[in-house]
Amino acid sequence: MAKHVVTLIPGDGIGPEITTAMRRVVDATGVDIEWEIADAGEHVMAEYGTPLPEHVIEACRRNKVAIKGPVTTPVGTGFRSVNVALRKELDLYVNLRPAFSIPGTGARYEDIDIVIVRENTEDLYAGIEFEEGAPETAELIKFCAEKGAGIIRPDSGISLKPISITGSERIVRYAFEYALANGRKKVTAVHKANILKYSDGLYLDVARKVAAEYEGRVEFEDRIVDMTCMGLVLYPEQFDVVVLPNLYGDIVSDLAAGLIGGLGMAPGANIGTDCAVFEPVHGSAPKYTGKDMANPTAEILTAVLMLKHLGEFEAAEKILSGVKAVLAEGVNVTYDIKRTNTGSTDGAVGTQAYADAIIATF
Ligand code: NAP
């Protein structure tokens, strides 16, 4: 039996290509992993009647560690995001998104080292929505008017933003514990508490209480989300560990990906109490499907996070060094890296050739 059994969800769009590249790189380190393939997404709907079959969730639960490629969420079809559903089903309350510079990407900044800790289960992503014109939406609108909460136009659709003490406490505590365990100096809690008093206001109150427990060990500050975005662009060196509610976390982590050279470079992990599902920040980039063009670095760096989680530090280091060497050389790199470095995609190599170049460094 292999030392580790890992559930692999290839996803769709560029998912199968970049997860193949990732798997080849991980296997080439010699680490003993058995991959248990589990398919999810629109392409399994016909067979299982759902894009996220129960056996996929079960496989993640059983193996406790999964890695996935992106899964497309069709817009405006009533089809719920597989990614959001998986995070909810497995209570993966942390979305960890480290953004660190690697020379050779052509990124606008050179010394970025920021860790985004995004809450993953609540907020506007809780999936509690009321469709425009539905009877329950009319009821909710009436309720709000009767209780003096406010007048909502009758032709509105409504999405709820629940933020709890429980959800806020565990995510902020995770950020502080992560900071302590990883030698980080500061945690910044991001919010819009000046406007959203009962949701973000609650989050900020809880963050301040948790921060008090870490006083003298980890520095704490809070910032409003709009100022945070400007700050990240103007003086990113002021940020260390940044903890945010779900929606701001999603947006700000794409901003952070932009600081390190784009979505092709940004890894991620969804972590819960019993289980972890590793996935890059980016989506399925459908226009590149099957073209062997997409940059697999984010997926490969996601595997580096997974290997560290599994205690396979040597294999993780080998891959990271390989990625750094190939990017520094700048020859065998994908179209996006060529584009940021030279303004043209001429001379770019494909997804699998880039993986081969990393493997050749081992
Ligand atoms: P996206 O798939 O992240 O792609 C947006 C753009 O980012 C691409 O067109 C490409 O830019 C660049 N990019 C993303 N991944 C790249 C890679 N590996 N290598 C090089 N460039 C990359 O965002 P989207 O088009 O908004 O979303 C597509 C679908 O993915 C949607 O259905 C969305 O819901 C889903 N999604 C899934 C996840 C997930 O599975 N966790 C996460 C986010 C989105 P250029 O065209 O400029 O090269």
Range of the domain at 206: 113-119+163-259
Atom of ligand 1 nearest to the CA of 335: 20
Question: Domain ends where: 228, 244, 259?
Answer: 259
Atom of ligand 1 nearest to the CA of 336: 20
Instruction: Tell me what the mean pLDDT of segment 29-38 comes to.
Output: 97
The residue ranking higher by pLDDT, 307 or 74, is: 307
Give the chain's length: 362
In b/e form, how buried is each residue of 1-13, taking b as 16+ CB within 10 angstroms?
eeebebbbbbbbb
* Ligand 1 binding pocket mutation candidate from 17, 72, 284 (most atoms within 8 A of CB): 284
Which residues' Cβ are closer than 6 Å to ligand 1? 14, 18, 70-73, 83, 263-264, 279, 282-286, 294-295, 298, 336
Q: Is residue 106 part of a domain?
A: no
Q: Is residue 130 part of a domain?
A: yes
CA distance 210 to 139: 38
Fill in the DSSP letter of residue 80: P
Task: Count the domains in the chain.
Answer: 3
Question: Domain ends where: 259, 289, 312?
Answer: 259
- Pair 304, 233 in one domain: no
Given a contact cutoff of 8 angstroms between Cβ atoms, the answer to whether 280 and 101 are in contact is no
Given a contact cutoff of 8 angstroms between Cβ atoms, the answer to whether 32 and 315 are in contact is no
Catalytic residue check, 226: yes
* pTM of the shown model: 0.92
- SS3 at position 97: strand
Tokens 């900071």 -> residue: 179
Given a contact cutoff of 8 angstroms between Cβ atoms, the answer to whether 314 and 39 are in contact is no
What number of H helices and E strands is found in the chain? 13, 12
Question: Domain ends where: 259, 283, 300?
Answer: 259
Quick one: tokens of 210? 């948790």
Q: For residue 21, what is the enclosing H or E element?
A: helix 15-28
Q: Is residue 73 part of a domain?
A: yes
CA distance 70 to 16: 9
Query: In this predicted model, what pLDDT tens digit does every residue of 121-163 receive, in sequence order?
Result: 999 988 899 999 999 999 999 999 999 999 999 999 999 999 9
Nearest-CA residue for ligand 1 atom 26 is 283
Atom of ligand 1 nearest to the CA of 268: 41
Query: In this predicted model, what pLDDT tens digit does every residue of 285-301 receive, in sequence order?
Result: 999 999 999 999 999 99
Nearest-CA residue for ligand 1 atom 21 is 264
- SS3 at position 221: strand
- pLDDT surpassing 80 at residue 108: yes
Predicted confidence at residue 45, as pLDDT, reads: 86
